[in-house]
Amino acid sequence: MNIGIIGAGQIGGKLARLLAPHHHLLVSFSRSPEKLAALARQAGPSVQTGTPAEAAAFADVLILSVHFAAMDDALAGLGNVAGQVLIDTNNPFDIQLPAGVTAAQEVLRRLPGVRLVKAFNTLPADVLRHHNGQQPPLVVPLSGDDAAAKTTVARLILDAGFAPFDLGGLDAAAMQEPNGSFYNQQFTLEQARQQYYRARL
């Protein structure tokens, strides 16, 4: 699978390293071209660098992993990505969203028509780095309104060494974002099931 990663920070960079053994990647959008080049060298021969537009044209799946303050700059160069699967890893730390609006909904507002799945935003980068592949595996929750897109993202979660846990439609993204019941929680599948049912009570 071809994966385009927009953002080479802690989460985007770590996902590049985790997915590089299984897929071809194009990583883009870093404030430091040197950092981007170093990431490609470290992640291996399946990783190349380019622009956001090149990542969008290359990718079967896009991963958006930039701070909200930089999002407009990152998205400006994407072009038309309607119909593409896009994984939103963002958390709204540097903006104030309207009450009841999630970061995932804000991304979808800016990129209408994408097949958006919220994932890889609940675990810190050091947990992604040190706990991938552990047994029993830690859960990476996901949510979205497109079942086929979620199936694709679940495969990537498995490839990264974690267990996918489907929370439901995109309205469930609130459970994944800061102050949500799955945010910054290291759950096994059984623990995630228990937390999900508690959250739904």
Ordered alpha helix ranges (H), 69-167? 71-76, 103-110, 125-131, 147-159
Whole-number Cα distances in Å, 171 to 107, 119, 126, 195: 13, 13, 27, 17
Q: Can you give the pLDDT at residue 17? A: 94
Ranges of residues in the chain with a pLDDT under 50 are none
Q: Can you give the pLDDT at residue 94? A: 66
| pTM attached to this predicted model | 0.95
Q: Can you give the pLDDT at residue 56? A: 94
Q: Domains in the chain and their CATH numbers?
A: 2-199 (3.40.50.720)
